[in-house]
Amino acid sequence: MNNFVAIIPAAGKSSRYSGEVPKQFLKLDGRTVLELSIRPLLDFSECIGICVLVPPDDQYHKALDLIDNPKIFIAEGGHSRIKSVANGIKFWELSDVSYDYFLIHDAVRPCLRSSDVQLALNSIDNEVDGVVLGIPCSDTIKKVSVKESFILNTLDRTELWRAFTPQIFKKKVLVKNVSEENLNKEFTDEASLIEANGGKLKMVQGFKDNIKLTFAEDLNLIKSILSSQGRMES
């Protein structure tokens, strides 16, 4: 595995989380969700740097404990995830560092294990354009109508996986796909954008506790997971 740079989109405001403080800046045991999310990446010598994309008028990031880490850089995010990622790509393309891959990780996925990052890094090869961490679906998945919520059919879960982050892509592949013509299209992650353009991606099974903070009730579960990982100090 060669060197990588990380992009952390942290400029979004969740419609499903109603707290006054943006959820990426909530503190758990004295550390923000954002810091917990990116700290495992700092364990890797292959990580050249981490660009965190924040809102233009954001003040919360200035209080981050990691703000003085020489590998952490702050840049202005966009009005959507894909636009923030585009700004992150531009940041690294204008830098003078040498790297081969982009790693993109959610700012609100604080239970990431270093072993999962290593697994993803080990899975990159010349046969694929990128790798995505995830787990196979264990629940029964129903397709329903948008307006009435009527069940239309049951999907075959043997081919269904839940996609997590980090997601790692070859440098040229991500730069090519996160282009001006794609910035206003609806994609929930970068993998779906690359898939839509014919890219070849590999799913790698990680730990199922790599959950995303989406709702307020997720906080207690996240605290429990971090405690079980030995990452909570109290």
Mind listing the pLDDT tens digit for each residue in 77-106? 999 999 999 999 999 999 999 999 999 999
CATH architecture of 4-228: Alpha-Beta Complex (3.90)
What pTM, to 2 d.p., does this model score? 0.94
If residue 167 lies in a helix (H) or strand (E), which one and from where to where?
Answer: strand 161-170
pLDDT (tens digit per residue) in 16-71: 556 678 899 999 988 999 999 999 999 999 999 999 999 998 889 988 888 899 99
Residues ≥6 apart with Cβ < 8 Å to 44: 114, 117, 118, 121
User: Residue 198: which region, alpha, beta or left (left: phi > 0; alpha: psi -120 to 50)?
Assistant: left
- Asked whether the beta carbons of 35 and 55 are under 8 A apart, the reply is no
- The mean of the pLDDT values for the chain is 93
* Helix (H/G/I), strand (E/B), else coil: 218: helix
Q: What is the pLDDT of residue 110?
A: 98
User: Using omega within 30 degrees of 0 as the cis cutoff, is the peptide bond preceding 166 cis?
Assistant: yes
Q: Average pLDDT for residues 183-196, to the nearest whole number?
A: 91
Residue 192 confidence (pLDDT): 95
Sequence-separated (6 or more) residues with CB below 8 Å from residue 83? 77, 183
Helix, strand, coil in percent for the chain, rounding step 5: 30, 25, 45
Cα dihedral 84, 88, 89, 94 sign: positive
